[in-house]
A and B are shown apart, each in its own frame.
Chain A
Amino acid sequence: MPYFQEYQLNMDRADTVLDALMHIRDTLDESLTLRCSCRGAICGSCGMRINGHAALACKTKVQAMVSERGVVQVEPMNNMPVIKDLVTDMAGFWDKVRQVQPWLQPAGPEPEGEYLASSESMNHLTGVMGCIMCGACVSDCAALEVDERFVGPAALAKAYRFVADPRDGAGRSRLLALNEPGGMWDCTRCMECIEVCPKGVGPMDRIMLLRSRGIQANVPSTCGSRHAEVFADLIYQKGRLDEPMLAARTFGLRNLSRLLSLLPMIFRAFVRGKVPKSGPLHRAIPGMEKIRRLFQRMEERL
């Protein structure tokens, strides 16, 4: 059964949580088990939950974490089985990374010299290449917490790294694979991964870019892609959202049964005045031509 063990320490102002843990290990309790190596936020070994949120222990200052009662709470990362103390089993994490075929798949014959690639494209990739596979995003992912089949933010960020690499020739097949259940549409957009990433990778932002690219590449439509396209269309039409229409058009005719199963709830909402006017009864905001002009201008540049 998991339990908390308390250690009393005197630490220096500048010390990190890793310094504290190593201090415990070296002087108080040699059996305290954790992964750590570089101490400099580059190896990704020391991912753990500190005061309930995933972080690298070597990058987290004790002073910033200490509560009013003088306590810092340290636990292993979430969404992974625990092996011992602060060490989790990351086999599942790596299985999901492998799932996205994380190696360059160039198209065409290999050039004599280097593949030509613009400076912008390679600079752009330095953001997502900065991922050190620490697992913090996966630990705090809300979607993974309720569904372990979701491929997860780390794998998706890695998939983006290849979709955005001009040398990779498998972009379309990657997007098709990510279009499947458990893929890029299963992210709940909670931004935990962006918040906890110690390297500024912004996994959720990458997932959103994958979705954009998927839509642009005309992957088979799903509720996910339809949701985004219908939403945009509704704003184009009326400037503000027609919620019932959004639901109906997202589900589409194929999912009529889904819509019908929601009828009892819709009825109850209706009698309480919570079902807004829809379709032709939904009023557009004044000055729609201005909004539509913006849509058209943005469409032109694509």
Chain B
Amino acid sequence: MTTSYEYDVLVMGAGLAGMRAALAAHEAGARVAIMTKVHPVRSHSNAAQGGINAAMMDRGDDWEEHAFETVKGSDYLADQDAVEILAQEAGREILTLEHMGVIFNRNEEGRLGTRRFGGQKRARTFFVSDFTGQAMLHVLFEQLMKARVPVFEEWFVTSLVKDTDGRCAGLIGFEIRTGQFALVKAKAVIIASGGLGRVFEPSTNALICTGDGMAIAYRAGAPLMDMEMVQYHPTTLKEKGLLITEAARGESAYLLNCDGERFMKRYAPNMMELASRDVVSRAEQTEINEGRGVDGCVLLDCRHLGRRLIHERLRQISEEVHSFAGIDLTKEPIPIQPGMHYQMGGIKTDVDGRCWDVHGAWAGVPGLFAAGETACLSLHGGNRLGANSLLDTVVFGRRAGRCAADYAREVPTPHVPDSTVGMEQQAISALLSRHANRDSIAAIRQEMGVAMHSHLGVFRDQEGMMTAKGTLEALRDRYSRVSVQDKGRVFNTSLIRALELGFMLDCAETIVYSALLRRESRGAHFRTDYLHRDDVEWLKHILLYRQPDGSSRVEYFPVRLTRWEPKVRIY
């Protein structure tokens, strides 16, 4: 037995982008609901630690400077019109958040305080100690409770549905608690389901970051863009893969090799530890590969910062390293290594979150929107600056929400055949009824993660990536036959992990495919066989469209330049 629901705007994902979009759509008068596979405050946005960027004009800051630093940080792959909007609207979003109740840090005058962050000369990162993401996420959830926006909490989305004209018509999913399927119809769907970190092993990402939304959109015919641009964060805790915020470096922590040398002076003499993340990660990996590491890591030294500062501004990581590695960071340096952290690529959208071009320059799925890490405008191009992701989620979450509400007002209710849900249920039942073999979901997941980390990590080359491609093909085959041991309806996490693995394999394939295509090094995509950036041939985005046979069709889309011509990137 299935049930069906109907809304104007439906949001998939309840992180910062999802909730911001839902609130904006709600304020614009739309009937909006959120579907999320975990309770909103469990979303991975809460792991963002360091802060949120904004150039506030009344403090003598300059949005153009912030925009330029973002473009430079992206290694010139970012679309500059989108970046301009990000920088221009940032100040206003910070104030909106503060008015909602976020407990941003203050200076002596009682005004909002700032700290420095990577890739930026000026201190324009607003923050809440070192748990800014959590602080923002909980406040947005408070606002959601206040506005009484309906939330399908712990509902797992399995696919996007389209009407007979190919327009987005809603989502199908099941209530995790009961296994009950439903079709949730909507005139507009905003996918804000976050990143795909678990495709890599290890990763800073939570276990829920499995690229669900990207895969669902991709399967429905939406293009995924710049999938090869995967960010490795410079400071993740040795072996555990847990994030140590860039804010530590923002507060002047040092990076040291086994000789106690601040090695960044050889790679980025001006910005040192606060160069862009891809530069720092590569520097660290080089030090490690060339034998100047300590046990496969380098050291993050916070000792000179003093107890008081650490207690006020870095309390969370102080607790974290003590709890998870037994280290007192006022007394010892922390062993860290680069770890997979963020996906710059994602579902292609315009500056209003639309996954189709109203002018027809590229094709997508009308009625489908995306925001946050799931989307790719592109804001972050080949490398994202720290504290820009939190900003991305709220600026473009709001824009997508508002645009979706406006769009929903103009279109009629979509028609979806009743049989859709039944077919979906049957597919799931078929998966559940497979007989056990010696294989397991967990094993396939692990092997995929290790292969991606080994060959699509900080340094890439043709041979490695072809190996990864082969591994994925074999894993795909095994996936088609692997069984789910838990056959029950109630809270079947076994089934969820199986479905998530399917999404991750789809995403992994697009990452490898794009990485093989891009024959240059740009931002986070660094090929030892194509060392240089090639603006003549490659100042463009790679869009992938899924074919019925599972392969990808490629389209290219030129980067949109407004003010800044690509230059050599030196930090």
Residues of A within 8 A of B (CB): 25-27, 29-31, 33-45, 59, 83-85, 87, 90, 94, 98, 102-104, 106, 110, 113-119, 121-123, 125-126, 129-130, 132-133, 165, 167-168, 200
| Cβ of B559 to closest chain A Cβ, rounded Å | 34
Q: State A123–B128 Cα separation when bound (angstroms).
A: 9
In the complex, what residues of A have CB within 8 A of residue B488's CB?
31
In the complex, what residues of A have CB within 8 A of residue B454's CB?
none
Q: Does B441 touch A at the CB level, under 8 Å?
A: yes
Q: Does B116 touch A at the CB level, under 8 Å?
A: no
Q: State A102–B41 Cα separation when bound (angstroms).
A: 14
Given contacts A26-B442, A31-B485, A103-B143, contact A114 B95 (CB under 8 A): yes
Q: Does B259 touch A at the CB level, under 8 Å?
A: no
In the complex, what residues of B have CB within 8 A of residue A115's CB?
98-99
Are B484 and A38 closer than 8 Å at their CB atoms?
A: no
Closest 9 CB pairs of A and B: A104-B101, A26-B442, A30-B485, A31-B486, A116-B110, A103-B142, A37-B206, A103-B146, A38-B206
Q: State A284–B103 Cα separation when bound (angstroms).
A: 48
In the complex, what residues of A have CB within 8 A of residue B134's CB?
42, 130, 132
In the complex, what residues of A have CB within 8 A of residue B177's CB?
83
Q: Does B567 touch A at the CB level, under 8 Å?
A: no
Other contacts beyond A33-B493, A104-B142, A115-B99: 8, CB < 8 A: A25-B442, A37-B207, A39-B207, A42-B46, A98-B145, A103-B101, A104-B100, A119-B113
What 1/0 mask marks residues of chain B from 303 to 346 whose CB sits below 8 Å from any chain A CB? 00000000010011001100110000000000000000000000
How large, as a class, is the contact surface on chain B? 35 or more
Most buried by B among A26, A85, A94, A167: A26
| Cβ of A224 to closest chain B Cβ, rounded Å | 28
- List CB contacts (< 8 Å) of B369-419 with chain A: none
Residues of B within 8 A of A (CB): 38-39, 41-44, 46-47, 58, 94-95, 98-101, 103-113, 128-129, 131, 134-135, 138-139, 142-143, 145-146, 177, 206-208, 240, 242-243, 312, 315-316, 319-320, 323-324, 440-443, 484-486, 488, 490-494
Residue of A nearest to B105 (CB): A122
In the complex, what residues of A have CB within 8 A of residue B493's CB?
25, 33-34
Contacting residue for A114 out of B111, B242, B442, CB 8 A: B111
| Cβ of B83 to closest chain A Cβ, rounded Å | 24
Q: State A103–B99 Cα separation when bound (angstroms).
A: 11
In the complex, what residues of B have CB within 8 A of residue A27's CB?
440, 442
Given contacts A36-B207, A37-B207, A106-B99, contact A43 B135 (CB under 8 A): no
| Cβ of B153 to closest chain A Cβ, rounded Å | 9
In the complex, what residues of A have CB within 8 A of residue B43's CB?
43
Q: State A104–B101 Cα separation when bound (angstroms).
A: 6
In the complex, what residues of A have CB within 8 A of residue B98's CB?
114-115
| Cβ of B499 to closest chain A Cβ, rounded Å | 14
In the complex, what residues of B have CB within 8 A of residue A98's CB?
145
Contacting residue for A132 out of B41, B312, B324, CB 8 A: B41
In the assembled complex, 8 residue pairs joining A and B whose CB atoms fall closer than 8 Å, in A order, are A26-B440, A35-B42, A103-B146, A104-B142, A114-B104, A126-B129, A132-B134, A133-B41
In the complex, what residues of B have CB within 8 A of residue A129's CB?
103, 128, 131, 135, 138
Given contacts A42-B134, A83-B491, A106-B99, contact A122 B47 (CB under 8 A): no
Given contacts A25-B442, A126-B103, A129-B138, contact A84 B324 (CB under 8 A): no
Contacting residue for B208 out of A25, A37, A42, A116, CB 8 A: A37
Are B42 and A45 closer than 8 Å at their CB atoms?
A: yes
Given contacts A39-B207, A122-B105, A129-B138, contact A44 B490 (CB under 8 A): no
Q: State A122–B38 Cα separation when bound (angstroms).
A: 29
| Cβ of A156 to closest chain B Cβ, rounded Å | 16
In the complex, what residues of A have CB within 8 A of residue B107's CB?
119
| Cβ of B495 to closest chain A Cβ, rounded Å | 10
Q: State A42–B324 Cα separation when bound (angstroms).
A: 13
Are B42 and A102 closer than 8 Å at their CB atoms?
A: no
Residue of B nearest to A85 (CB): B491
Q: State A94–B42 Cα separation when bound (angstroms).
A: 13
| Cβ of A120 to closest chain B Cβ, rounded Å | 9
In the complex, what residues of A have CB within 8 A of residue B441's CB?
30
| Cβ of A205 to closest chain B Cβ, rounded Å | 17
Are B315 and A126 closer than 8 Å at their CB atoms?
A: yes
Contacting residue for A44 out of B42, B100, B139, B316, CB 8 A: B42
Given contacts A27-B442, A30-B484, contact A123 B312 (CB under 8 A): yes
Q: State A40–B316 Cα separation when bound (angstroms).
A: 11
Given contacts A31-B485, A31-B486, A38-B46, contact A122 B104 (CB under 8 A): yes
Are A102 and B142 closer than 8 Å at their CB atoms?
A: yes
Are A39 and B128 closer than 8 Å at their CB atoms?
A: no
Q: State A29–B440 Cα separation when bound (angstroms).
A: 11
In the complex, what residues of B have CB within 8 A of residue A83's CB?
177, 490-491
Are A122 and B103 closer than 8 Å at their CB atoms?
A: yes
In the complex, what residues of B have CB within 8 A of residue A125's CB?
103
Q: State A129–B47 Cα separation when bound (angstroms).
A: 14
In the complex, what residues of B have CB within 8 A of residue A41's CB?
319-320, 323
Q: State A116–B98 Cα separation when bound (angstroms).
A: 10
